[in-house]
Amino acid sequence: MERPARARVPAIMLSDRAVALMRDVFGQPTLFSGESRIDRRVVAWGKDADPITVAHSAVVVSDRVLLKSLASAIEPDAPVSPDFVIYTSKPLPPGAEEHRFGTRKAIAAEVALKDRGDSSSCWIESLHDGWLFLIPNASESTWLLGVGAPLEDLLASSRVIAPRIDWLRGRSAEFPAAPRIIAPLCGDGWLACGTAAMAFDPICGDGTAQAVREGVLAAAVIRAIADGGDSASLRAHYEGRLTIGMARHLELCAEFYRAGGSGPWWQKELEALTEGQRWCAARLAAAGEPRYQLRDFVLEPRVAATEARGTVYNRGK
């Protein structure tokens, strides 16, 4: 197993639903139980919108804590010749092409809260040509994410977030923030997963959970192929499920970007999201209906899965 270098992710906010998924998949019922919690979300979204406060329920972790908590893989004692290759980061698999739906960039900067009473709230603010996301982490650092215009420009026009923070160490490296996906996502003897397969806009907050879901499905596909299943149809199922995930994400992003602002930057990014929705729709139309269903981490033909559910239901009656 090769471990390529990764760019540092300053802070990751995981919803309770995402944490529950990870606890189940990794068999760690107390995972992240001691991490900082966010119980409020303050949102100022849309031109001159006043901030509103809504209940939220999530934990904030650094990538260091996330990787340390999930470090369970065992390195082989000797080199092996795998029957199947899983790509989890670049370089991309041979023949795969990346499709990016937008051009927006993000910058993360370490900041300090002026009022420590804000440490249990995350703050989101849309501006003329981008948006800001403030992510407190009581156990480590507070991070400010800026998407769109340069961070200094966004802060200069910020009415809600800028007055609440002080700079500490300046900016981190710039990184792409637009949704992207590769095609194909798998082939004979290989599949792509995680950031090698696709990436979400950070506005959704579901990227880590999506990567976990991809990992579960990838393992089930490889297991089914190893057990003698039809490789082509199983790979097609993997392609279809990940494409559905991207289509749903693009739909969610479009709702945010449609409401966030009406200036040229917002319109350009919204048009790219719409184009991505069309791309996904065309791929899904050509793929047809899913032929498998995941039950207890195992892929079954949809007919068999439906019959199994019906049997359980009839016994219950």
Place of tokens 């300053």: 10
Domain boundaries of the chain, sorted by first residue = 1-70+105-176, 83-102+178-317
pLDDT of residue 72: 55
142 token code pair = 């507070």
Superfamily of chain region 83-102+178-317: FAD/NAD(P)-binding domain (3.50.50.60)
pLDDT of residue 115: 85
pLDDT of residue 73: 44
Distance between CA atoms of residues 198 and 204, nearest Å: 14
pTM, two decimals, is 0.87
Q: In this structure, how many other beta carbons lie within 10 angstroms of the beta carbon of residue 21? A: 17
State how beta strands 190-192 and 186-187 pair.
antiparallel
Distance between CA atoms of residues 317 and 298, nearest Å: 26
304 token code pair = 């068999």
Is 228 exposed, middle or buried, given 0-12, 13-18 or 19+ CB atoms closer than 10 A? Answer: exposed
Domain 1-70+105-176 has CATH 3.30.9.30: yes
- Distance in angstroms between the alpha carbons of the first and the last residue of the chain: 49
Q: In this structure, how many other beta carbons lie within 10 angstroms of the beta carbon of residue 241? A: 18
Q: Which whole-number Å values give the CA distances from 72 to 41, 258, 297, in the listed order? A: 33, 41, 18
Q: Where are the alpha helices (DSSP H) in the chain?
A: 16-26, 63-69, 151-156, 207-226, 231-260, 264-287, 302-316
Q: What angle do CA 221, 223, 225 make, to 5 degrees?
A: 70
Is there a shared CATH topology between the 1-70+105-176 domain and the 83-102+178-317 domain? no
The mean pLDDT values, 10 residues at a time, for the chain of 317 residues are 54 90 91 90 93 94 80 53 84 92 93 86 96 82 91 94 83 85 96 94 88 94 94 95 97 97 97 98 91 90 56 36
The rounded Cα 48 to chain-centroid distance in angstroms is 29
Name the β-bridge partners of 106: 147, 175
Residue 194 near residue 214, CB atoms below 8 Å: yes
Residue 114 near residue 175, CB atoms below 8 Å: no
E strand map for 7-120 = 12-15, 36-44, 52-61, 85-87, 97-100, 105-113
pLDDT of residue 170: 62
Q: In this structure, how many other beta carbons lie within 10 angstroms of the beta carbon of residue 288? A: 9
Q: Which whole-number Å values give the CA distances from 160 to 55, 170, 191, in the listed order? A: 18, 20, 44
3-state secondary structure of 32: coil
233 token code pair = 């149809």
